[in-house]
Structure 1
Amino acid sequence: MFQRVALQPTPEQRLLIADELGKEPTGMELITAIDSQGHPLALQVAALVKGKPFPTFYWLSSRFLVKELSHLEAAGLIKVLEQRLQDEPLLMTEYRQSHEDYVARRWAAMSQATKDEIERLGFTDVFTKRGVGGIENWQQIRCLHTQYAHHLSSGNAIGRILDEEYGIAALLP
């Protein structure tokens, strides 16, 4: 199982995350989810990294989860889920709400100085109109990893399906 948190990463956690991912993620701000043993599962990343927009607000920091979700993607699950979005209006509504939540949380997490810089650089639409993982078309799914990182961090329709129907959270310690 997992727990949603908002923790500044300690030096030890930074090393653990870097080991899991093969590098420390650029722009890492917070740990947003941990497993039952306290290991980081998801991160919050800065809106601007090296002066450029970074579209992924939540990032998976678990090699295990990345691997599990990669297997599902390779098996064609994204296309299956996109078809379900078209066939199930309630799911499409929940999915749209997931994108709206993502946009709102990302914007709320920014300082006024960051918002001003984003506006000055002409990237306001990137942060107010693009959803999970920076996607513009909210009827498509770009990647299960960003969907699940958002789910771990605050809740997400696709992440809920991954837990309920594919048992992802049940695989965690």
Structure 2
Amino acid sequence: MFQRVTLEPTPEQRHIITEELGKEPKGMQCITAVDGRGRPLAVQVAALVDGKPFPTFYWLTSRLLVKELSHLEAAGLIKELEARLQTDEALMAEYHRSHEDYVARRWAAMTPATREQIERLGFTEVFSKRGVGGIENWKQIRCLHTQYAHHLSRGNAIGRLLDEEYGIAKMLA
């Protein structure tokens, strides 16, 4: 299973994240989810990285999860889930709330100086309209990895389905 947290990464956790990803994520602010052994599963990333908008607010850091979700994407799960969204009004409403949460949490995590810089650079609309993984069309799914990182960090409709129907969280036991 997993636990939602807000932790400053220790040097050991930074090393684990770097090992899992093959690099340390640029703009990493904090760890947002860990497994039962305390290993980082997801991190929160700054809104601006190197002065440019960074689309991924929550970044999945588990090689095991990245691999499993990549297999599901390759098998066509994104298209299946998008079709399901179109016919299931309750799921679509939950999915929209996931995007709204993502946008709100991202704004809340910004310092006043970052908000000012975003406005000055003309990115206010980008950060207000783009949801999970930077997607603009909230009726589509761009990436299971970003959906699941958001789910691990704060909860997400698609991540919930991945746990309930595909047993992703059980892999963390």
Q: How does the TM-score come out when normalised to structure 1?
A: 0.99
- Per the alignment, residue 100 of structure 1 pairs with 100
Does structure 2 conserve the Cα–Cα contact (< 8 Å) formed by 1:55 and 1:126?
A: no
Deviation at 1:133, TM superposition (A): 0.3
Secondary structure of the 2:41 match is strand
How far apart are residue 11 of structure 1 and its match?
A: 1.0
AA aligned opposite 1:139: K
| Residue 3 in structure 1 maps to residue 3 in structure 2 | yes
Task: Provide the residue aligned with 2:113 in structure 1.
Answer: 113
| Aligned 1:1-173 pairs, distance under 5 A | 1-173=1-173
- Summarize deviations over 1:109-161 as a string: whole Å, max 9, x none: 00000000000000011111100000000000000000000000000000000
Given residue 61 of structure 2, which amino acid in structure 1 is its aligned partner?
A: S
How many residue pairs end up in the alignment?
173
Residue 55 (structure 1) shift: 1.1
How many Å separate the matches in 2 of 1:140 and 1:129? 14
Task: State the AA in 2 paired with 1:19.
Answer: E
Shift of 1:68: 0.4
**Partner amino acid, structure 2, of 1:153:** S
Q: Any conservation in 2 of the 1:45–1:57 contact (CA below 8 Å)?
A: yes
Q: What are structure 1's unaligned runs of at least 5 residues? A: none
Compute the displacement of 1:12 (Å): 1.1
SS, match of residue 139 in structure 1: coil
1:55 & 1:118 partners in 2: Cα distance? Answer: 13
* Deviation for aligned residue 1:78: 0.1
Is the 1:129–1:136 contact (alpha carbons within 8 Å) kept by the matching residues of 2?
yes
Secondary structure of the structure 1 residue equivalent to 2:9 = coil
- Tell me, yes or no, if the aligned pair for 1:43 and 1:59 is still in contact at 8 Å: yes
Taking the aligned partners of 1:57 and 1:143, their CA distance within structure 2 comes to 13
* C-alpha contact 1:92 1:139 (8 A) present in aligned 2: yes
After superposition, the C-alpha distances for 1:22-57 in whole angstroms (9 at most, x for unaligned) are 000000000000000100000000000000000110
Contiguous gaps of at least 5 residues in structure 2: none
TM-fit CA distance, 1:169: 0.1
In structure 2, distance between residues paired with 1:85 and 1:25: 31
